[in-house]
Structure 1
Amino acid sequence: MDAGVAYFPTHDGLGPAELARLVEERGHRWLMWAEHTHIPASRETPWGGVEGAPPLPRKYVHTYDPFVASAYALAATSALRVGTGIALVPQRDPITTAKEVASLDHLSGGRFDLGIGAGWNREEMANHGVDPRTRMKRMREHVLAMKAIWTQHEASFHGDFVSFDRIWSDPKPLQRPHPPILVGGSGPTVLDRVLEYGDAWMPNHGSGVVERIAELRRRAERPIDVVVMGPPADDLEVLEAYENAGVDRVLFWLPSARRSVVELELDRVEAAMARRHDRPA
């Protein structure tokens, strides 16, 4: 089981390029960004869509666009894989997003990963003209439309939410057939989405993940990675359980803060992973 990091790239924290250089210099292989275009001031949806959740952390309001952050990070590094964890695909124009993904992947030498999710903030979706009740169907169509654009010289797509005839869109992604699509979420039907159009499942750390990994492996007819977001770095039993369940990668959240604070958290993460490797079998 490998490890990487995830980060809310805020304007008052360590910048995307500097963070990416730091992460790569310390030997990490993955860096993923969160996304929120905005947070409605009149928001009624609880954080994560979970009733009784604590107040929303301020970093949600202060994030850079993850594709812009990715451009800075990829330009500042040579081997680090960078991506979205997650991009709120139903709120994005699929033709524009396909162009952004292909451009980043091509310019970086094939180092971009596309983590996707349908979102939880209903007021944010509404401001983008998205009915929360249709967000899963929209995400599916957006992904399938982007796949058509990435893999076809002259792409067409027709669905309930996305429709276009015969378009040219180059360059194509350097990774073939396209950059890995990591499907986020832990809802009851998430594995259906992973199996239909994903290359990996990327759930948040929590109860039930290990059991569902076994279900995913039973149902899958092709290799599908599992990437767990946000496990506790200091809980060796949790990390061991994920490794035993066949998790391919864990991503630890870094604080959106100055360099010294980020470095302290990286020290903690790296120490925890070293202890896990040194633990007797």
Structure 2
Amino acid sequence: MEFGVSTFVTDDGIGPAPLGRALEERGFGALFLAEHTHIPASRESPWPGGAELPRQYYRTLDPFVALTAAATVTERLIVGTGIALVVQRDPIVLAKEVASLDLVSGGRAQLGVGAGWNREEMRNHGTEPKTRMRLLRERVLAVKELWTAEKAEFHGEFVDFDPVFSYPKPVQDPHPPVLVGGSGPTTFDRVIEFGDGWMPIHGRGTDGLAGQIAELRDRAGRRVPVTVFGVVPKAENVAALTDAGVDRVLFNLPTEPEDATLARLDTMAALL
């Protein structure tokens, strides 16, 4: 079992560099960051996590900037997105951002992907919510093409470009792992087609996790790695996730100032 944290890095919590150092010093293996480019003031879309949207959703730093800061002060820490809202990102730019992070980190980048839940937010990026899953698929496939082909091209319903040169290429061969978020009825289709792993949120559609993992691996015909993020740091959760066949647990780390964060990490580290 591997351990890390999933969190929101904001302008009023611990910075990404001291957070990265603190995690590596305490034996954590991964840092995964959430993202929201903005939160529309209308608040029409209900938050899946409850009634009130927490403050950190409004104040996130760009994940790739923050992860780069963490990568430059660490040597072993995996740096990833949990999740990147691909339906709100240009795929050519996204391919360069992740490849650049992989280069700067020496091959430690991972890309957690999803389509998101905030319909007003994605509409502000020109994305139609009803077709966002098809858009997610094409953009991920296009990113992989840009990572791996000398002359990359892609022709789809939403993404269309003739042969291009896109550099840098990732350090990892063939590319950084793409971890597909979600736990809906069609999630496994996406994992099998264009994912390198599955990354659901703990407690959201994961009640029968052991059976879900077995089904996914049976359908895929391979041992699909599973990362679970947003895990409440309790020994019983670690034991249950271990028994279910999970490969990596990402403890939920609240967004707090540096002193409070370091104290919380000391407590979490006892579970490693």
Q: Which TM-score tier does this pair reach, normalised by the shorter chain?
A: over 0.9
Q: Which has the higher contact order (CA 8 A, sep 6+)?
A: 2
- How far off is 1:78 after superposition? 1.5
Aligned pair partner of 1:169 in 166, 171, 191: 166
- How far off is 1:237 after superposition? 3.1
Structure 2: distance between partners of 1:118 and 1:229: 16
Superposition pairs for residues 64-103 of structure 1, below 5 Å? 64-103=61-100
Assess if the C-alpha contact under 8 Å between 1:141 and 1:159 holds in 2.
yes
Look up the equivalent residue of 1:164 and give its one-letter code.
Answer: F
Structure 2: distance between partners of 1:25 and 1:238: 23
Superposition pairs for residues 32-71 of structure 1, below 5 Å? 32-48=32-48, 53-71=50-68
- How far off is 1:43 after superposition? 1.6
User: Structure 1-normalised TM-score?
Assistant: 0.93
Match for residue 128 of structure 2?
131
3-state SS, counterpart of residue 169 of structure 2:
coil
Structure 1: distance between partners of 2:123 and 2:208: 30
- How far off is 1:61 after superposition? 0.3
Structure 2: distance between partners of 1:90 and 1:209: 27
3-state SS, counterpart of residue 272 of structure 1:
coil
Match for residue 238 of structure 1?
237
Assess if the C-alpha contact under 8 Å between 2:28 and 2:269 holds in 1.
no
Structure 2: distance between partners of 1:237 and 1:258: 28
Structure 1: distance between partners of 2:271 and 2:177: 28
Look up the equivalent residue of 2:239 and give its one-letter code.
Answer: E
Structure 2: distance between partners of 1:247 and 1:83: 17
- How far off is 1:232 after superposition? 2.0
Match for residue 220 of structure 2?
220
- How many matched pairs? 269
Assess if the C-alpha contact under 8 Å between 2:210 and 2:243 holds in 1.
no
3-state SS, counterpart of residue 261 of structure 1:
helix
Match for residue 270 of structure 2?
271
Match for residue 205 of structure 1?
202
Look up the equivalent residue of 2:98 and give its one-letter code.
Answer: V
Deviations 1:177-197 (A, max 9, x none): 110111100111101101111
Assess if the C-alpha contact under 8 Å between 1:255 and 1:261 holds in 2.
no
Question: Tell me, which stretches of 5 or more residues in structure 2 are unaligned?
Answer: none
Assess if the C-alpha contact under 8 Å between 1:106 and 1:174 holds in 2.
yes
3-state SS, counterpart of residue 106 of structure 1:
helix
- How far off is 1:8 after superposition? 0.3
User: Structure 2-normalised TM-score?
Assistant: 0.96
- How far off is 1:18 after superposition? 1.0
Assess if the C-alpha contact under 8 Å between 1:148 and 1:155 holds in 2.
yes
The yes-or-no answer on 1:190 pairing with 2:187 is yes
Assess if the C-alpha contact under 8 Å between 1:155 and 1:168 holds in 2.
yes
Assess if the C-alpha contact under 8 Å between 1:145 and 1:157 holds in 2.
yes
- Give the CA RMSD over aligned residues: 1.2
3-state SS, counterpart of residue 196 of structure 1:
helix
Question: Tell me, which stretches of 5 or more residues in structure 1 are unaligned?
Answer: 274-281
3-state SS, counterpart of residue 176 of structure 1:
coil
Structure 2: distance between partners of 1:24 and 1:252: 14
- How far off is 1:224 after superposition? 1.3
Match for residue 118 of structure 1?
115
Structure 1: distance between partners of 2:217 and 2:262: 36
Assess if the C-alpha contact under 8 Å between 1:229 and 1:251 holds in 2.
yes
Assess if the C-alpha contact under 8 Å between 1:21 and 1:73 holds in 2.
yes
Structure 2: distance between partners of 1:169 and 1:199: 22
Identity %: 58
Assess if the C-alpha contact under 8 Å between 1:7 and 1:33 holds in 2.
yes
- How far off is 1:218 after superposition? 1.4
Match for residue 256 of structure 1?
255
Higher mean C-alpha displacement, 264-273 vs 22-31: 264-273
Structure 1: distance between partners of 2:219 and 2:67: 33
